[in-house]
Amino acid sequence: MTRTSQISRAAVGAARAASRPSSGSPGGQFAASFKQTQSPAAQGLAPRNTPSRTTPTLRQPTRQLYNFSTVSLPTAHISSSHNIRNMTTDFKQQPHKLLVIPGPIEFSDGVLGANAAPGMSHVSPAFIPVFGDCIRMLRKVLYAPKGQPMLIAGSGTLGWDAAAVNLVEPGENVLVLNHGYFADSFADCLRAYGANVDELKAKVGGIVDPKDLEQALQKKKYKLVTITQVDTSTGVLAPVKQYSEIIHKTSPNSLIAVDAVCAVASEEIRFDDWGLDVVISATQKGLGVPPGLSVCMLSERAIKTMEAATAFLPTTSRGSAGSPS
């Protein structure tokens, strides 16, 4: 089995699992939650047997199956080309219990309103600049003008699989700096793909001593070193910059992967300046939008390592250039 087929299976399986609760259009999650909070009568939806419902026909196709003029749904002003970058909305959330966890977080009215935008083709003229904007803006967030963003449908932890299958061959050594539960899980993921995993475990609430990291790198060669920047199980913020400096000095050929699911757009990350190779994140925390995308950034070193499994690289590269896939 090639590495390309491995990442395809991992990505497809995780993406399917992540997408089931929100099947359908991008507004599926919003629609499902909205239906739970209001009955059809309260929403002002017309009964199925009333003339106010427009029935689509072959000669008169329509997107609007209900009369939305009396419904408290997002009022989206979208051009005929579905230019969602210029969309505005007067959507207001219903009163609800405040969600106070690291993620998914509370989302703004504008973000939830944007979820009601119509679906569009991934090769349409309207989608291409939006996708390109996402890639370019992610470079700004991570201070990574030289990095290659990767946007994959799935959960944040899908990034673990992507890193494990593309950067490490079975039998190669990986060092995990363990500050909590999520480092445990990252280590398990790497082992599942055949990596020989060593762990430096910190005391609960503490960090791995930089001297211990240096000694471990002196004793053994590692293909990859992983760091969880913010492990929400313990609340520990890892000194990624300091660790990276030690790794580059002591083991310059080791790749550096940072699990930054809770850190991107929340904590400082300077991808290029710190010499990172992979940053793994997701949309539902610091980036402030609903879950559904695994967000990664790759260095040139990482890309060269995964050239044998570039299933998603051509699409994202063309997206940066404003071209269809």
Residue 115's pLDDT band, with cuts at 50, 70 and 90, is confident
**Residue 109 domain-assigned?**
no
**Residue 110 domain-assigned?**
no
Position 120 scores a pLDDT of 87
**Residue 282 domain-assigned?**
yes
Residue 117's pLDDT band, with cuts at 50, 70 and 90, is confident
**Residue 298 domain-assigned?**
yes
Measured in degrees and rounded to the nearest 5, phi and psi for residue 180 equal: 165, -165
Residue 103 has pLDDT above 70, yes or no: yes
Rounded CA gap, 53 and 110, in Å? 28
pLDDT digits (tens, 9 = 90+) for 209-221: 999 999 999 999 9
For CA atoms 144, 146, 147, 149, the dihedral sign is positive
Distances (CA, A) of 6 to 38, 166, 273, 292: 43, 9, 32, 21
Higher pLDDT, 124 or 258: 258
Position 66 scores a pLDDT of 30
SS3 173: strand
**Residue 321 domain-assigned?**
no
What is the secondary structure of 236-299 as a DSSP string? EE--HHHHHHHHHHH-TTSEEEEE-TTTTTTS---HHHHT-SEEEEESSSTT-S-S-EEEEEE-
Residues in a beta bridge with 121: none
Average of per-residue pLDDT across 222-232: 98
Q: Which of 10-14, 40-44, 181-185, 302-306 is predicted most confidently?
A: 181-185
Q: What total of structural domains would you count in the chain?
A: 1
Residue 11's pLDDT band, with cuts at 50, 70 and 90, is very low
**Residue 17 domain-assigned?**
no
Please name which of 289, 291, 312, 315 lies closest in space to residue 302, comparing C-alpha atoms: 312
- Report pTM: 0.70
**Residue 218 domain-assigned?**
yes
Higher pLDDT, 47 or 120: 120
Residue 222 has pLDDT above 70, yes or no: yes
Please name which of 231, 304, 237, 274 lies closest in space to residue 142, comparing C-alpha atoms: 274
Higher pLDDT, 280 or 51: 280
CATH number at residue 161: 3.40.640.10
Residue 153 structural domain: 123-308
**Residue 323 domain-assigned?**
no
Peptide bond into 95 cis (omega under 30): no
